[in-house]
Amino acid sequence: MSTRAEHTRESLLQALYRLERGRGRIVKDGKLSIAAVAREAGVSSALIHNRYPDVADQINVAKNKGYRVQRDAKVNELKRQKDMNRELRAEIAELYAKLAKSASVIAALTAENDRLAAIVSSENTIVLPQNRG
Q: What is the DSSP string of the chain?
A: --HHHHHHHHHHHHHHHHHHTT--SS--S----HHHHHHHHTS-HHHHHHH-HHHHHHHHHHHHHHHHHHHHHHHHHHHHHHHHHHHHHHHHHHHHHHHHHHHHHHHHHHHHHHHHHHHHHSTT--PPPP---
Q: Return the pLDDT at 71.
A: 85
Q: Return the pLDDT at 133.
A: 58
Full pLDDT tens readout for the chain, 133 residues: 569 999 999 999 999 999 888 877 777 776 788 999 999 999 999 999 999 999 998 898 888 776 777 788 899 999 999 999 999 999 999 999 999 999 999 999 999 999 888 888 887 777 777 776 5
Q: Return the pLDDT at 52.
A: 93
Q: Give domain limits for the chain.
A: 3-121
